[in-house]
Amino acid sequence: MTVLVDPALAADARRERRFFLSLSLPALFVVGLAAILPILWIIRQSFLSIAGEYTVGNYEKVLSSGLTWLALVTTFELSLGTLFACILLGTPLAFALAGARPRVANVLMAFVMLPLWTSILVRTYGWLVLLRRDGLINAALTASGLTSEPLPLVYNFTGTLIGMVHYMLPLFLLPVYAAMRDIETDLVRASASMGATLGQVIRTVILPLSAGGIVSGSMIVFIYTIGFFITPAVLGGGKVNPLSIRIERTLSTFQDWGSASVLGILLLVVTALVGVMFVAARRLMAQNRTGAHA
């Protein structure tokens, strides 16, 4: 079947696209200056030795160091741990919010979003006050007799993970809640009327239909936490060293811009690869859903 297109309408569409492109040029220019040029400078810096000569020695030194790979493993452990905790906590919470009355859901969502209204530095030091050995949580545990001595809740992996989950949970919840809210209630009622239990309804109806929101929230959490710095620096107490901490120490301690640039490129490449994986998974799910509807 041949579709005839009016030449005048096609010309108008082209003019409209050129017009909107011209409006975006200033923004593209600012993005280029603020993002692309620093990345190009870091790439150039990674090939410069301390003497100012071009070399691949920085890559050999960084990539052959066991500390680099240990920092990369720590980075993935923190990101995966935060993602798992957000899925475990955020998915049921989004389900409860989606099933609540609009007024109640709005009030609860305001409380969930409350941490985003506070600086991350203030929240991190707030967790430090709560989790340290003489903090409020340990004081309550020892006073109630649940523990005989303070628990090591801070300056370790556990404390860092708690702070990261607290920050990322609202960002994970938003796309999941939006996806679950768009699910037709008639589908849930129909499955329940056919004899499906609550667990079966969640597994066969709600989770498949909200999978796109879960993947989107997971992408936000994982990519964001790969570059976390303040929370590991404060709550880790020097014992939790992801790539971001290693970059900072390479600069502040050794003033080695070449090695720090290599670490920055490694972090950028890891972030890009993870982003591509999530986008591919999102598109695959969309294609499967389209095929199912067809």
The residues pairing with 48 across neighbouring beta strands, listed in sequence order, are 54
- Helix, strand, coil abundance in the chain, percent, nearest 5: 80, 0, 20
Model confidence pLDDT, tens digit, residues 266-277? 999 999 999 888
* Closest by CA position to 166, among listed 218, 213, 112: 112
Quick one: DSSP state of residue 3? Answer: P
Output the pLDDT for position 1: 46
Sort 81 into a burial class: Cβ within 10 Å, 0-12 / 13-18 / 19+: middle
Sort 60 into a burial class: Cβ within 10 Å, 0-12 / 13-18 / 19+: exposed
The residues pairing with 54 across neighbouring beta strands, listed in sequence order, are 48
Report the alpha-carbon distance of residue 71 to residue 240 in Å, rounded: 9
Model confidence pLDDT, tens digit, residues 161-176? 999 999 999 999 999 9
Which of the two residues, 196 and 145, has the higher pLDDT score? Answer: 145
Range 74-242 classified under CATH 1.20.1290.10: no
Model confidence pLDDT, tens digit, residues 45-67? 999 987 788 889 999 999 999 99
Report the alpha-carbon distance of residue 126 to residue 148 in Å, rounded: 24
Report the alpha-carbon distance of residue 25 to residue 28 in Å, rounded: 5
- pTM of the predicted structure, to 2 decimals: 0.84
Model confidence pLDDT, tens digit, residues 220-257? 999 999 999 999 999 998 899 999 999 999 998 888 89
